[in-house]
A and B are shown apart, each in its own frame.
Chain A
Amino acid sequence: MSQSHRIAGGQIDRGVALRFSFDGKSYTGHPGDTLASALLANGVRLMGRSFKYHRPRGPISAGSEEPNALVELRSGARQEPNTRATVAELFDGLEARSQNRWPSLAFDALAINDRLNSFFTAGFYYKTFMWPAAFWEKVYEPIIRRAAGLGSLSRLEDPDEYDKGFLHCDLLVIGAGPAGLMAALTAGRAGARVILADEDFRMGGRLNAETGEVGGRPGADWAADVVAELAGLPNVRLMARTTVAGAFDHGIFGAVERVSDHLPAPLPGKPRQTLWRIYARRSLLAGGATERPIAFENNDRPGVMLAGALRAYANRWGVAAGDRVVVFTNNEDGLRTATDLQAKGVSVVAVVDSRRGGPLLPGLRHLQGAEVVDSAGRLGLSSVTVRMADGRTEVIPCTALGVSGGWNPNVNIHSHHRSRPVWAEGIAAFAPGADGPAGLAVAGAAAGRLSTHGALLGGQAEALAALGDLGIPATAGDLPKAEDAPVSITPKWYVQGGKGRAWIDQQNDVTVKDVKLAHQENFTSVEHLKRYTTLGMATDQGKTGNVIGLAVMAELTGKPIPETGTTIYRPPYTPVAMGALAGRSRGKEFKPFRLTPSHKWAAEQGAVFVEVGMWLRTQWLPRAGETTWRQSVDREVLATRKSVGICDVTTLGKIDIQGTDAGTFLDRVYANTFSTLAVGKCRYGLMLREDGMVFDDGTTARLAPEEYVMTTTTANAVTVFRHLEFCRQCLWPDLDVQLISTTEAWAQFSVAGPNARRLLEKVVDQDISDAAFPYMGAGNITVCGGLRGRLFRISFSGELAYEIAVPTRYGDALIRKLVEAGEEFGAVVYGTEALGVMRVEKGHVAGNELNGQSSALNMGLGKMVSKKKDSIGMPLSQREGMVAEGGYRLVGVKPVNPADALSAGSHFLPEGAAPVLANDGGWLTSMVWSPHLGHCIALGYLKGGDQKIGTRMRAVNFMNKTDVAVEIVSPHFIDPEGERLRG
């Protein structure tokens, strides 16, 4: 049985057969088919099981609003769950599987839920699984998740790439139906830059699904001709397979282009999808309308569809979804389905029209004042029960039922900025309100104008208005002639009577009864209704069910529908893959890397790197025979303190500060004074936030009377620069100060240790003796026979130390030179671990102490905050609570028993005190193993710590389950008098 339900016509290429499989069974279709149309063509109506009750379900729609026909596509790592068969473009080799069923789609064991439905009403979980509480996470939730849910994840890494991009246009047209095409044509012919985006792979919207003429030709042909003309205009970008998913601020729209979803796999190098941010000067929503059903008992059987979808399958895809068709409608548009199918030779056995009066359809059994009250058929529709106008009922055998309850304008995008749609009585639906996103107009069915003529006219008019706003001259071309039938609808939301379930939201198995239960339990607000019943959640976001649900609620509360209102519309319009949102930012490419000037050399040495922000810094450099990181780090520390070590410190922020007021500027941003700093000297500086807490620290050198270079911590390089720019531009625009970052311009290396000077003397061209270049000296130098460089005599390790800088392109050469020159001294290159050990040994604060909650006084640097001048943070650093005796003070910590290990994060407790908050004395901020001392040492903040030097406490860590007796000591473990660094 091959394509037994294929009928004549349609926009498919019958000359090409595409093979595909569904649940392992092979079928054929044609280019132009969706998975749903191809399955229906092959007589397959059953495509899935429902979310909660595992009811047999088939497609009800032919578009992105589909709640039922959700399938898994592809296999392996490309397996994608919850894909709508109605929009999945068929390709040769497509693999599809039904989901949420076991062991098979036709026989699903969990369909027992349907028998037990009286236990599973709305709110069932909240009421039932309350006791015992501990069971929820371990027992109830896993069972419920196993029983409910839809598709499954492969749990394999997505093998495809996703891209992102930015587009600009004068006019973005969302939707390529008659309104969108007319708008794009008007603007395109006027020379405006136009983007026309449509979620479908074939542009034309409903024109492809209808038989009406436009401009004397079939609508689909007119659409194809317009698309061809637009494709020839260089100022127009046609974006099929592109869903505009959201309206964001300032005329920016998010759109997902499915570049490769219609292929078995993306072509080499091509992304699967691209997320575009479209910057539109003006935009037009021409997204059409979505048909809604009428709820009646057992209205969810495979074969029960929206009337417009039934028509679309016949007209666009040449598919008769059933061989005996009944149409159930409350409006004129539903009758079109009957006449179109009849014209195509499909047997239309009855038209059930809930309206009374009016002309009868010729040649059809047109039952006015009647309604469908029930259906039958285990895995697919076999008959409907119709209640006639006179009250008697009749069972009518049929295999397809087209239901039309009216059309809802697709207002979503227009409501993404919280514009509330307004009730349009004439079409019995919500239409766009007045306060949509700035620059966004609406035309066609999306605006509530449901005729083709209305769409063409609206598209043209709104395009002309947009172009007028932009000052782009345009003329209204001839409008092609098209049908302009008025809307005739008598609202009917659900069929009264009947004891079974009438389905409103088929994706979430929400029934009329559930809405009634919500009302009974006082969840009457639409937002409460949604959360209590799950109406309108999941992939379809209630596109077919929401209005019915709130109409039922309106009836129950006695409020009119407009007063009942809608829930909030939020992006995305249809589901967006996480991969598209991530783009290329995943795995190793999650963020860019920053490489230091010595990276190449260090990699050659087998260095271990550590991520420091975006930087990759050398953490340590293992040597042959070293099997643990501690061995490498200990060696680096000991060698540096014994002779000399070299470390790449390029990552520290460097900011060039120039101007006649540069000194004044620094006095204001630093807590201590810099205007008095002599040229050729540098000074340690402490920068506070306005609240008086320490922001950052570093050294700043004065290279010329009006030129300083500031260094910052690596972590705060950007934030300090941003802060300085704010101060310069906003706080003190009267100061003559110019700033620019030079972090990357200079390769800078620390050379530390007793032999630091002797090593540098082999490299630096000038005299750098203690007399010529004393402690805290700074200045321009030349290196290796003339290369311009900079030298700073500063120390983070406590040793005699310098930082030497050259233009970055020479950084690699310089470290090689320093290593070579250091050979005779046994020089080592050390990484960030050794750097950390030495700074703790010396008692310097770093990131763990600069935690945003600590003041200069806490750090033992209170005297650096000058009271002789005003500076950011100084006034608030003097608050009573900040300067109170007994506050946290930086202390050194060592274990009483040198064999004991310490751990950062441990809390200080007095000896014998209970481990409760009231006894908490502070915490260990940084801990290292000091190879110099041969035991662990730490820094910490201890309440009244300056008064507790020499006392004993406990360092308690509940995480590590340690309780260590410690001695509180000075934070300066090495050379407290500073003799080494001045040597």
Chain B
Amino acid sequence: MANLKPLTALGHDAPEVLSIGAVRISERFDVALASVAARRGKAGDLASAAQGIGLPLPAPATHQAGDPWSAFWVAPEMWFVEAPFASHEDIAARLKAALGDTTSVTEQTDAWVRFDIAAPDLAPLFERLSNLDLARAPVGFASRTVIEHVGTYLVKRAAGEVVLYGPRSSAASLLHVLEVTAKSLL
């Protein structure tokens, strides 16, 4: 492999982890990401092919975890697929090979920064960040939402766990707003 050293979205060698009161914000650098969109009229074929490799294609506004593939819905007949980066850095090529002409696959790994945010009660934090009704959202809920002018994807992984994907170039700005908002809850 190339002798080029990768940097996290925040420009560091290792992912950032912050603990602010009960809120823990962990940058994730170990997840590969790709978009999978059904070609026109090929949704059924895609579903079959996905089933063949154990790739979940969850319903709108939901996330489905799996091993190695997890996925969340982003648009009609379009999903973001997650997999461990260490074993799936070439995620787009792997998916394209498996799904063939049923699908348009695009690498998205480095288009996003991912923050895993955990707290016993995330409502006070997210009601200051997003207009989503997180308290009512079921576990597995996934949606696009805007946080301080930054377009993000939010996935509710558990009652006290949220995954946030934001544009990589705005990683520092996004973390800043997460940080100051969490501090305001202290």
Residue numbers of A with Cβ under 8 A of B are: 161, 163-168, 268-271, 274, 277, 279, 584-585, 589, 591-596, 599-600, 614-615, 656, 658-661, 706-707, 734-738, 740-747, 782-788, 806-814, 817
| Residues of chain B within 8 A of A742, CB atoms compared | 106-108, 111
8 tightest CB-CB pairs across the interface, nearest first?
A592-B173, A787-B2, A658-B104, A736-B40, A808-B110, A594-B169, A813-B4, A745-B111
Known contacts A277-B131, A659-B39; is A744 also within 8 Å of B167 by CB? yes
Looking at the assembled complex, report how far the CB atom of A637 sits from the nearest CB atom of chain B, in whole angstroms: 27
* 9 A–B contacts, CB within 8 A, in A order: A161-B180, A163-B184, A167-B127, A270-B184, A584-B177, A593-B173, A744-B111, A745-B110, A809-B8
The reply to whether the CB of B176 lies closer than 8 angstroms to some CB of chain A is yes
B7 pairs with A746, CB closer than 8 A: no
CB distance from B135 to the nearest CB of A (A): 7
Chain A: minimal CB distance from B102 (Å)? 11
- Chain A residues lying within 8 Å of B128, measured Cβ to Cβ, are 163-166, 274
Alpha-carbon distance between A599 and B7 when the two chains are bound, in angstroms: 12
- For the complex, what is the distance from the CA of A615 to the CA of B130, rounded to whole Å? 23
Q: Which residues of A have CB within 8 Å of B11?
A: 595, 599-600, 812
Q: How far is the CB of A910 from chain B (nearest CB, A)?
A: 48
A381 CB, min distance to chain B CBs, angstroms: 46
Q: Are B39 and A614 in contact (CB under 8 A)?
A: no
Q: Determine if A809 and B184 form an interchain contact, defined as CB atoms under 8 angstroms apart.
A: no
C-alpha gap A806/B4 in the complex (Å): 10
Complex Cα distance A736/B43, Å? 12
Does residue B67 face the partner (Cβ distance < 8 Å to A)? no
Instruction: Judge if B1 is at the interface, Cβ distance under 8 Å.
Output: yes
Contact A740–B2 (Cβ < 8 Å): no
Residues of B within 8 A of A745 (CB): 106-111, 168
Q: Is the CB of A783 within 8 A of B8?
A: no
Contact of A788 among B90, B130, B133, B180 (CB under 8 A): B90
User: Are B130 and A166 within 8 A (Cβ)?
Assistant: yes
In the assembled complex, the Cα of A783 lies from the Cα of B1 at a distance in Å of: 9
Given A166-B130, A744-B112, also A593-B170 (CB < 8 A): yes
Chain A min CB distance to B183 (Å): 4
Query: Given A269-B183, A810-B6 in contact, is the A592-B150 Cβ separation under 8 Å?
Result: yes
* B163 smallest CB distance to A (angstroms): 18
- Smallest beta-carbon distance A731→chain B, Å: 15
B133-186 at interface with A (beta carbon < 8 Å): 133, 135-136, 148-150, 167-174, 176-177, 180-181, 183-184, 186
- Among A166, A784, A810, A817, the one with the most B-chain Cβ atoms within 10 Å of its Cβ is A166
Bound Cα distance from A800 to B135, whole angstroms: 57
Q: Which residues from chain A contact B1 at a C-beta distance below 8 Å?
A: 785-787
User: Complex formed: what's the CA distance from A161 to B9 in Å?
Assistant: 27
Contacts of B183 in A (CB 8 A): 269
B39→A738 contact, CB < 8 A? yes
Q: In the complex the two chains form, is B7's CB within 8 Å of A659's CB? A: no
> A592, A594, A661, A786 — which one has the most chain B CB atoms within 10 A of its CB?
A592
CB within 8 Å for A660 and B135 given contacts A742-B111, A744-B111, A808-B110? no
Q: Mark B20-63, 1 if CB is under 8 A from A, else 0.
A: 00000000010000010101110000000000000000000000
Q: How far is the CA of A165 from the CA of B107 in the complex (A)?
A: 34
Return chain B residues, CB-CB under 8 Å to A615: 169
Residues of A with C-beta under 8 A to B2: 782-787, 810
Task: Give A847 Cβ to nearest chain B Cβ, in Å.
Answer: 20
How far is A123 from B66 in the complex, measured between Cα atoms in Å?
Answer: 74
Q: Which residues of A contact B95 (CB under 8 A)?
A: none
- A740 and B3 in contact (CB under 8 A), knowing A165-B128, A615-B169? no
- Which of the listed residues B128, B169, B180 has the most CB atoms from chain A within 10 Å of its own CB? B169
A596 touches B104 (CB 8 A): no
Q: Is the CB of A807 within 8 A of B110?
A: yes
Residue of chain B at shortest CB distance from A614: B170
Q: Are B133 and A279 in contact (CB under 8 A)?
A: yes
Q: How large is the interface on B (under 10, 10 to 19, 20 to 34, 35 or more residues)?
A: 35 or more
> Is B133 touching A735 in the complex (CB atoms < 8 A)?
no
**A589 CA to B174 CA, complexed, in Å:** 11
Smallest CB separation, B100 vs chain A (Å): 12
Min CB distance B109 to A, Å, is 7
Which residue of chain A has the shortest Cβ distance to B177 in the bound complex?
A584
Q: Measured between C-beta atoms, what is the minimum distance from B89 to chain A in Å?
A: 8
Contacts of A741 in B (CB 8 A): 111
Q: Which chain A residue shows the least CB distance to B110?
A: A808
Main secondary structure of the interface of A (DSSP, over half): mixed
Mask, B89-120, CB within 8 Å of A = 1, is 01000000000000010111111100000000
- Docked-complex contact A166 and B4, CB < 8 angstroms: no
Are the CB atoms of A744 and B149 closer together than 8 Å? no
**How far apart are A806's CB and chain B's nearest CB, in angstroms?**
7
CA of A268 to CA of B184, assembled, Å: 8
Quick one: given A592-B149, A742-B111, A746-B110, are A161 and B184 in contact (CB under 8 Å)?
A: yes
B83 at the interface (CB under 8 A from A): no
CB distance from A739 to the nearest CB of B (A): 8
A785 to B4, CA, bound (A): 9
Chain A residues lying within 8 Å of B78, measured Cβ to Cβ, are 738
Q: Name the A residues within 8 Å of B173 (CB-CB).
A: 592-594
Q: Per a CB cutoff under 8 Å, which of A165, A656, A735 touches B40?
A: A735
A784, closest chain B residue (CB):
B2
Chain B residues with CB below 8 A from A165, complex form: 127-129
Beta-carbon contact of B131 and A166 below 8 Å: yes
Contact (A808, B131) CB under 8 Å given A592-B173, A738-B104, A784-B2: no
Report B37 CB to chain A, min CB distance, Å. 4
Question: In the complex, A809→B8 CA distance in Å?
Answer: 6
In this complex, which of A279, A734, A809 has the most chain B Cβ atoms within 10 angstroms of its Cβ? A809
Q: Which of B4, B108, B135, B167 contacts A740 (CB 8 A)?
A: B108
Instruction: List, in ascending order, chain B residues with CB within 8 A of A658's CB.
Output: 37, 104, 106
The answer for the CA separation of A539 and B133 in the assembled complex, in Å, is: 34
Q: Kindly list chain A residues whose C-beta atoms are within 8 Å of the C-beta of B172.
A: 593, 595
Other A-B contacts than A166-B127, A271-B184, A743-B111, 5 sampled, CB-CB below 8 A, are A163-B184, A594-B167, A740-B35, A807-B6, A808-B9
A205, chain B: closest CB distance, angstroms? 26
A649 to chain B, nearest CB (A): 14
Q: How far is the CA of A807 from the CA of B4 in the complex (A)?
A: 11
Let me know if B39 and A660 touch, CB within 8 A. Answer: yes
The CA-CA distance from A312 to B3 in the complex, in Å, is 77
Nearest-Cβ distance from residue B50 to partner chain A, whole angstroms: 16
CB distance B174 to A592 under 8 Å? Answer: yes
Inter-chain CA distance A735–B181, complex, in Å, is 44
Q: How far is the CA of A509 from the CA of B171 in the complex (A)?
A: 54
* Chain A residues positioned under 8 Å from B150 (CB to CB): 592
- Within the assembled complex, what's the spacing in Å between the Cα atoms of A584 and B147? 12
Contact assessment for B7 and A785 in the assembled complex, using a CB-CB cutoff below 8 Å:
no
Write the nearest CB–CB distance from A406 to chain B, whole angstroms.
Answer: 41
A734 / chain B contacts, CB cutoff of 8 Å:
40
**Chain A residues within 8 Å of B132, by CB:** 166
Complex CA gap A788/B136 in Å reads 42
A785 B3 Cβ-Cβ under 8 A: yes
Q: How long is the Cα–Cα vector from A292 to B109 in the complex, in angstroms?
A: 65
- With a 10 A CB-CB cut-off, give which of A167, A269, A593 has the most chain B CB atoms: A269
- Measured in the bound complex, the distance between the Cα atoms of B2 and A513 in whole Å is 87
Q: Which of B6, B7, B110 contacts A600 (CB 8 A)?
A: B7
Docked CA distance A589–B179 (Å): 13
C-alpha gap A744/B110 in the complex (Å): 7
Give complex CA distance A163, B184 in Å. 9
> Taking the nearest CB of chain A, how far is it from the CB of B119, in angstroms?
16
A267 to chain B: closest residue by CB: B186
CA distance A840 to B41 in the complex (A): 47
Contacts of B40 in A (CB 8 A): 659-661, 734-737
Within the assembled complex, what's the spacing in Å between the Cα atoms of A939 and B35?
42
* Assembly CA distance A600 to B184 (angstroms): 29
Chain A residues contacting B41 (CB-CB under 8 Å) are: 736
CA distance A166 to B90 in the complex (A): 39
Cross-chain contact A279 with B170 (CB below 8 angstroms): no
CA distance A595 to B1 in the complex (A): 27
| Residue on B nearest A603 in the bound complex, by CB | B11
